[in-house]
Structure 1
């Protein structure tokens, strides 16, 4: 091999080496995706809608029935009963001694309200007539003491009184000996439904 050939091979080898050196390094085209940290979705809390407790209901006011009240105390063919601002008599029954020919009931209003607002009286009639007597009395008005003038169904009746006042009524006992049962009641409008009691000869 002559010198010229050696130089040509050497030059070729250098050129090949330089070409190899100038090549960019091989890169992996398969990019590894960056690891994405898993994100937890916070749990959604579901809260049941608040429900209001039902409003407490006050117990209905109870009115003692006439049978739950004591009997009136009778002395010397007379008795005293009371009416109050609570629209109540204090007794549920009156027993008239058979020995009496005349009997007197005194009504004392123990309240403070005036007669126009919470007046009370005592009316005596047959139990079967009470509602009709009270209805007709309401129509008669305050000037008539809530008793229809000339009502033959009425055995006896007192005046209407207000708080702190008293009134009395007397009647012939023979009128309630037969044909009963009889009741005493207040004929002020709306009162007779609960303000009543029995009256009989015993």
Structure 2
């Protein structure tokens, strides 16, 4: 092997080593919290499901990504969901929302109709029956909190309905 080939191979190996060892983002894991409840003797101790709160926080960024693709909640209890747009780009160019859809909704068909619904922040009027809840359309640095309840256990898809975002910004809300 001549010197030129050795040098090229060495540079390639160095490049691969540097690019493959970068910081990888991972979704934050839920840390168990210790709860101490008091109850009168003779009363039943509250179950974990009865004391859980459905407080959910999810972030969207300028790379068209949610930081989570799965959320969990307890059926029949109010859900308080906050979407934070942690990027810097304004909503006209990189808007994000979070739309929770009914089970079985065709996400691609919904997103296609959403493309033409700019006046309603990309929530198509014709598809209101498919929407359980949705946040406002947000730009960089903004956040929105919504409250709703889902009584039926199941897996409910969620998407960002801003044009072109559904391909990368989607997940599932699991209601147990």
TM-score (norm 1): 0.59
Q: Are 1:149 and 2:125 counterparts?
A: yes
Relative distance call for 1:159 and 1:72 in structure 2 (3 A) is farther
> Is the contact made by 1:133 and 1:154 (CA closer than 8 Å) also made in structure 2?
no
Rounded to whole Å, the distance in 1 between the matches of 2:88 and 2:123 is 23
The runs of at least 4 consecutive aligned structure 1 residues that moved more than 3 Å come to 68-75
Tell me whether 1:123 sits opposite 2:99 in the alignment.
Answer: yes
1:198 equivalenced with 2:175 (yes/no): no
Corresponding residue of 1:182: 156
Cα deviation, 1:96-128, whole Å, max 9, x if unaligned, reads 02362x212110000000000000000011354
Contact 2:156–2:172 (8 Å) recurs in 1: yes
What is the deviation of 1:134? 1.4
**Structure 1: segments with no counterpart, 5+ residues:** 1-55
User: For residue 29 of structure 1, what is the aligned residue in structure 2?
Assistant: none
| Runs of 5+ unmatched residues, structure 2 | 1-11, 13-18, 33-51
RCO greater where, 1 or 2, for CA within 8 Å and sep 6 or more?
A: 2
TM-score relative to the length of structure 2: 0.67
RMSD of aligned alpha carbons: 2.8
How many correspondences in the alignment?
A: 135
